[in-house]
Structure 1
Amino acid sequence: MISIQEAQKIINQNIPQRKHQNLPLKEAFGYMTSEDIYSKYNIPNFTQSSMDGYALRFEDKDLKLKIVGEIPAGSTERANLEHGTAYRIFTGAPLPDGADTVVMQEKVKIEGDDLLIIEDNDLEKDANVRPIGSDAKKDTVAISSESYLSAAAIGYLAGIGCTEVQVYSPLSVSLILTGTELVKPGENLDFGQVFESNSYQLESVLRQSGINHIETFWVKDDSLQVERTLNSALTKTDIVILVGGVSVGDYDYVIDAAKMCGVEQKFHKIRQKPGKPFYFGTKEEKLIFGLPGNPSSALTCFYLYIAPLLSKIIKRPSITTETKAITTTRYQKKIGLTHFLKATYFDGKVTPLHAQESYRLQSFAEANCLMILKENSEGCEKDEIVDIIVLK
């Protein structure tokens, strides 16, 4: 049995190299860039008006200016601005050569048909003008490697003329649920049976972590079925999470099945509660996790080990954060295991909840954090500072 710190170190030492692929820009939302993206153009590639108004030479602002023409957005003809004149101009249109300032249409007066009088005492040179390359400069990095492609990032890349991007390939995950006693929610619950809930909670936190390629399998407590399903999953997905069957009971077949499938065990069992039987192994670049079947234990282990790992691999913020809090009550435990208590965190204070048993999810449904009591401690006193893991 190893410590939590040793387990985390071993997992981090086995993070595989990410694969990458090229995607059309319209299909790249939600992915992470795997290289710097350079702009091929200056954007804008001409001096551009940012307002509806009038283009002028700033030195002429105190003169009555003759309006000599109009430049709409999309105009491809070059215009030249002479001294003492102005052009009617619209947002996004190119400035005429010689102009350096745009005055807003609300801050002028028109005298007669074509004389412009400026009534803006705060007007400054270069006002309401977008310089060439102000949004992106040619041959410079527009978006760095390992950037998340949000809707705004996709729009920005389209705006600089990008049509394709290189991204990290999405991770795929297989969930293998083991247990003859399990039945699907909605079916009749007979004596000796329990509703299966792990797929629901684990698929949810996987999606929250940025994983959309999820395959879920359900097998009975049969060694051959477990082995065949694991072997199949290893050929299809990057990460395999087995749920249940990782302890030492007569019907716990996961450890033996992993060996038969060529998985190299990195560790099995951690000094923690809940989740002591947690398993981790690798096969080439594939990662294999074994979670206890009790729902609270399974979810705790996911938050502790798999969620931070996924954050590192796919370069996205983790769904958990660590901080410190002040306890509102005394809590006792025995020395030897680190305890992760379902708790609530509010205004800098943490309160452990009732029903800490590993099979009970009701308190987990109320929790917004895990309160950590270290293995060499006998618990905590009221008003003691402890570490917590905040669940987002």
Structure 2
Amino acid sequence: MMISIEQAISTVKQNTKPLMKTTVKTVEKAGGYILSKAVKSPINMPPFNQSAMDGYALNLHNGATYLLIGEIQAGDKHQPILKPGEAVRIFTGAAVPNSANAVVMQEKVKIEKTFIHIEGSTSLNQNIRPLGEQVKQGDLALKEGTKLTPAAIGFLASLGIGTVAVYKKPAIAIITTGNELIEPGNDLSYGKIYESNSKMLLSALYNLKFYDVNLYNVSDNYGQTVTKLKEAINENDLVIITGGISVGDYDFVGRALTELHVEELFYKVKQKPGKPLFYGKKGSTQVFALPGNPAAALTCFYIYVYIALQNMMNRDALELERVDAKSITNFIKKGDRAQFLKAIYNKGEVEILEGQSSAMQQTFALANALVFMDENEQEITIGKTVETIILPI
């Protein structure tokens, strides 16, 4: 029995949980991970009073003229002692001497031999980043559950932190099925096609920063299908199967999943493309059997597998971004199923592309969005506002 898209999405959300397995990563390889343990700062940041710009560090006095007694570059260790009315040349990021209490930018300074003359007013602590301004030693730097963005990685590195405790990303299996499949680079004999689904899904996973991916290929043989599926389920947190889930004489995936006691959570969704979609689980391992047609497989990946991955990573935003956009094309739907239409989104407008067949990879190659058409809708006209799903490409 087919279920609705809404029911299918809800089922995936309810049945996928955060992995909660932890590991330690070096900071440079921790991008995209979620902190499993709060990080406290081992140092003050900045670790000294720091100049915010190129200019002159001053020990303020009542006059506008200062005696220039030296220079401090970024990284210099020396600490000249300034008397009131004395100054040193200083550069952005350099340590401000403890005896200085202001930095004036070089554009407001006139130099005359060993003296400088300040134009305008100067205030106490001006242009000085005080010790510990960002974070103090021992204080919370990043809390547990923080996603490690490039900025977060840079911040941790600036604190001298080399490794962090993070939640593990899922180990993922991609299983392709079919006697007709051969690897690109080989001669294409009659009746064969080049295998593309694993490359497509692998690229989608890498693009989302999931790198622990294992590839399996299964011929149209029942015994081999059972063996390979059992191995993949035992060794991975999430299994993605492409093809073999329909009811043809040589579609063995459904039977194999039953023999392996994979709990069926749904099979077949009232949608186009991607009706013959299976979702189930065995223990904590999630199992998706996607249609073999490439565009259908990729659509199901973005709508359902994406949610499972985000949930397993304990992320807040589970679904891809959806926006309202004005259609610049007409489209008439055939049938009564909801439909995901390959489209190009640009600045609030969306173009529904020609070639919406579930086998049309070329159309999908041009798309950066999917337009969602509810089962009750039959036609999209130019100027109509449509629900548009932004793809992470």
TM-score normalised by L of structure 2: 0.88
For 2:83 and 2:49, the matched residues in 1 are separated by: 17
Give the 5 Å matches for 1:287-298: 287-298=286-297
Which residue does 2:357 correspond to in 1? 357
CA gap 1:279/1:97 in 2 versus in 1, 3 angstroms: same
Q: Which moved more, 1:199-208 or 1:357-366?
A: 357-366
Task: Mark the CA change 1:323 to 1:261 in structure 2 (over 3 Å): closer, same or farther.
Answer: same
| Match among 22, 25, 44 for residue 42 of structure 1 | 44
Q: How far apart, in 1, do the equivalents of 2:363 and 2:89 lie?
A: 67
Q: CA RMSD in A?
A: 2.6
Whether the 8 Å contact between 1:136 and 1:160 is mirrored in structure 2 is no
**Structure 1 CA distance for aligned equivalents of residues 302 and 146 of structure 2:** 24
Q: Distance in 1 between matches of 2:150 and 2:347?
A: 33
Contact kept, 8 Å, 1:307 with 1:319, in 2: the verdict is yes
Q: Distance in 2 between matches of 1:46 and 1:233?
A: 53
Percent pairwise identity: 39
Residue 209 of structure 2 aligns with an amino acid whose one-letter code is G
Q: What is the correspondence of 1:335-346 to structure 2 with a 5 Å cutoff?
A: 335=336, 337-346=337-346
How many matched pairs? 388
CA distance in 1, matches of 2:347, 2:88: 59
Q: Does residue 162 of the first structure (1) align with residue 135 of the second (2)?
A: no
Partner of 1:131: 130
Distance 1:282 1:107, change over 3 A: same
Unaligned runs of 5+ in 1: none
Q: How many angstroms does 1:35 deviate by? A: 2.9
CA distance in 2, matches of 1:21, 1:226: 32
2:312 equivalent in structure 1: 313
* Partner SS, residue 96 of structure 1: coil
Between stretches 41-50 and 210-219, larger displacement belongs to 41-50
Paired amino acid for 1:48: Q
Indicate if the aligned counterparts of 2:13 and 2:307 stay in contact, CA closer than 8 A.
no
> 2: distance between equivalents of 1:209 and 1:330?
31
Equivalent residue number for residue 390 of structure 1:
390
Who is 1:220 aligned against? 219
Query: Is 1:32 the counterpart of 2:34 in the alignment?
Result: yes
Question: Do 1:37 and 1:143's aligned partners in 2 also have CA atoms closer than 8 Å?
Answer: yes
Counterpart CA distance in 2 for 1:97 and 1:13 is 58
Paired amino acid for 2:56: Y
8 Å Cα contact 1:33-1:145 kept in structure 2: yes
Which residue identity does 1:262 align to in structure 2?
A: H
Q: Which residue number in structure 1 is paired with residue 103 of structure 2?
A: 102
Please tell me whether the aligned partners of residues 330 and 379 of structure 2 are also in contact (alpha carbons under 8 angstroms). Answer: no
Which secondary structure does the structure 2 equivalent of 1:371 belong to? strand
Alpha-carbon distance in 2 for matches of 1:158, 1:348: 38
Cα deviation, residue 353, structure 1: 2.8
**How far does residue 70 in structure 1 lie from its aligned partner after superposition?**
5.2
Aligned-pair CA distance for 1:129? 1.1
| Alignment of 1:9 onto 2:14 | no
Task: State the partner residue of 2:23.
Answer: 21
SS of equivalent residue, structure 2 residue 203: helix
Q: Which residue of 2 aligns with 1:238?
A: 237
| Residue-by-residue CA offset, 1:231-285 (whole Å, 9 max, x unaligned) | 1112222111011111112211111211222311111111111111100111111
Partner of 2:374: 374
**Equivalent pair of 1:208/1:319 in contact (CA under 8 Å):** no
Contact 1:334–1:377 at 8 Å: present in 2 too? no
Counterpart CA distance in 2 for 1:136 and 1:22 is 23
Query: Which AA in structure 1 matches 2:364?
Result: F
Alpha carbons of structure 1 residues 366 and 318: separation in structure 2 relative to 1, 3 Å: farther
**Structure 1 residue aligned with 2:273:** 274
Is the Cα contact below 8 Å between 2:80 and 2:97 reproduced in 1? yes
SS of corresponding position for 1:58:
coil
8 Å CA contact 2:81–2:97 kept in 1: the answer is yes
Output the amino acid matched with 1:329: N
Deviations 1:118-141 (CA, angstroms, capped at 9, x unpaired): 232154332221111112223332
d(CA) in 1 for partners of 2:9, 2:291: 17
Name the SS of the counterpart of 2:245 in structure 1. Answer: coil
- Structure 2 letter corresponding to 1:65: Y
Preserved CA contact (<8 Å) 2:49 2:128: yes
SS at match of 1:12: helix
Deviates more, 1:263-272 or 1:33-42: 33-42
1:319–1:118 Cα change, 3 Å? farther
Range that drifts further, 70-79 or 280-289: 70-79
Q: Which amino acid aligns with 1:129?
A: I
1:154-233 matches, within 5 Å, as 154-233=153-232
Change (3 A) 1:232 1:340: same
Give SS of 2:321's match. Answer: strand
Q: Distance in 2 between matches of 1:351 and 1:245?
A: 33
> What are the Cα deviations for residues 174-204 of structure 1, in whole angstroms up to 9, with x where unaligned?
1110111222223232332222211121111
> In the aligned structure 1, how far is the partner of 2:363 from the partner of 2:78?
69
Q: Which moved more, 1:77-86 or 1:322-331?
A: 77-86
For residue 326 of structure 2, what is the aligned residue in structure 1? Answer: 326
Residue deviations 1:338-365 (CA, integer Å, cap 9, x gap): 1222233345343433322222222222
1:350 and 1:73 map into 2 onto residues whose CA distance is 50
Q: Does the 8 Å contact 1:148/1:316 carry over to 2?
A: no
Tell me the TM-score normalised to structure 1 length: 0.89
The one-letter code matched in structure 1 to 2:4 is S
Query: 2-side partners of 1:57 and 1:271: how far apart?
Result: 75
Q: Give me the whole-angstrom Cα distance separating, in 1, the residues matched to 2:185 and 2:42.
A: 56
In structure 1, what is the Cα distance between the partners aligned to 2:108 and 2:381? 68
**Counterpart amino acid of residue 278 in structure 1:** L
In 2, Cα distance between equivalents of 1:29 and 1:320: 20
**Matched-pair contact (CA < 8 Å) for 1:324–1:388:** yes
Distance 1:275 1:71, change over 3 A: closer
CA drift at 1:24: 3.0
| Greater alpha carbon shift after TM alignment, 139-148 vs 190-199 | 139-148
Deviations 1:315-355 (A, max 9, x none): 397794212233321413223x1122223334534343332
